[in-house]
Amino acid sequence: MDLKNYIRDISDFPKKGVVFKDITPLLKDPIALKFATEALLHSLENRRIDKVVGIESRGFFFAPMLASGLKAGFVPVRKAGKLPSKTLEEVYSLEYGTDTVEIHSDSIVKGENVLIHDDVLATGGTAKAVCNLVEKMGGKIIQCNFLIELDFLKGREKLKKYAVKSLMHY
């Protein structure tokens, strides 16, 4: 199945000059959704995963399904101020300025095997910040996986020391 048939380009969103890769057509099609989930799980066969970390917000679509399929826990990483309990934070650079992601401080136990998931790998800044958080907590990153990778933005370069799997490349 060619999953690219289920990705819609939206020009000038969220700002002029950006072509947004909209995954909602894939999400609403049960066959494509199942195929994508199984393809993401396939890359992890015979790997023990204790926690699946999903990155806000579109990483939350697949990460819980992956956690269920892997018999692992799901851990959300959110923007600053969105998690209700004690957190650890990581500040990272954006094109203009900085942003912050947070994780509950009790969500990963030292030595646990962790899968990090998000919908799109673009510049890699957010994913790298999440990797830093997981490693600060003592988690071992088994893989970073993405539905889509925007190759021209070279985000994979920030994740060189990790296994990276993307289902679609643009």
* Measured distance CA(16)–CA(136) in Å, rounded: 37
Amino acid in the structure at residue 68: S
Render the burial of 40-68: b for 16+ CB within 10 Å, e for the rest: bbeebeeeebbbbbbbbebbbbbbbbbbe
Helical H runs in 78-124? Answer: none
Which residues are annotated as catalytic?
Answer: 58, 95
Render the burial of 85-94: b for 16+ CB within 10 Å, e for the rest: eebbebebee
* Measured distance CA(159)–CA(67) in Å, rounded: 22
Give the other-Cβ count within 10 Å of 24's Cβ: 13
